[in-house]
Amino acid sequence: MHNGRCDCGAVRFTIDAALSPPVACHCSQCRRSSGHIWAGTLVDDAALTITGQDALRWYRSSAIAQRGFCTGCGASLFYRMDGENKTSVATGALDAPTGTRLAKHIFVADKSDYYDIADGLPQHEAG
Ligand SMILES: [Zn+2]
Ligand SMILES: [Zn+2]
């Protein structure tokens, strides 16, 4: 069981499954909503329990997906594609130790210019 929460604690969640290795997304939507890059671990919705739903708001960030954030502190917590039974959960919101490791970088063609990716992990131009 993994526990996580937003910064103010109004939205909390548990993941009752092994974590899938998170993916770091460098696309402009992830950069703007997270403030840097988005590292998400994909979770089956059946294994994800969210409490504090009244503080959680879903924002339609594109024609195919929504992002869930805390209205109290603004933490970007979830990314969910329409019609999928999985949610990408902000790995940074999980209590440490997570026991998992970053798997790869995606949408690196869209990354900003103020940092380098130097961890040796696979990099994909797009998704
Ligand atoms: Zn919060
Ligand atoms: Zn992205």
Ligand 1 centre from 81 Cα, in Å? Answer: 22
Q: Helix or strand or coil: residue 92? A: helix
State the pLDDT at residue 127: 86
124 within some domain: no
Point out the ligand nearest to the CA of residue 108: 2
Map tokens 């890059």 to a residue: 37
126 within some domain: no
| Cβ burial, residue 121 (10 Å; 0-12/13-18/19+) | middle
Span 16-72, pLDDT tens digits: 999 999 999 999 999 999 999 999 999 999 999 999 999 999 999 999 999 999 999
Span 66-118, pLDDT tens digits: 999 999 999 999 999 999 999 999 999 999 999 999 999 999 999 999 999 99
Ligand 2 centre from 126 Cα, in Å? Answer: 9
What CATH code is carried by the domain that includes residue 10?
Answer: 2.170.150.70
Point out the ligand nearest to the CA of residue 32: 2
> Which domain, by its residues, includes 37?
2-110
119 within some domain: no
Point out the ligand nearest to the CA of residue 90: 2
All residues at 6 or more sequence positions from 38 whose CB lies less than 8 Å from its CB, including other chains: 24, 25, 30, 31, 76, 79, 88, 90
Token pair belonging to 45: 């919705």
- In the chain, the number of structural domains is 1
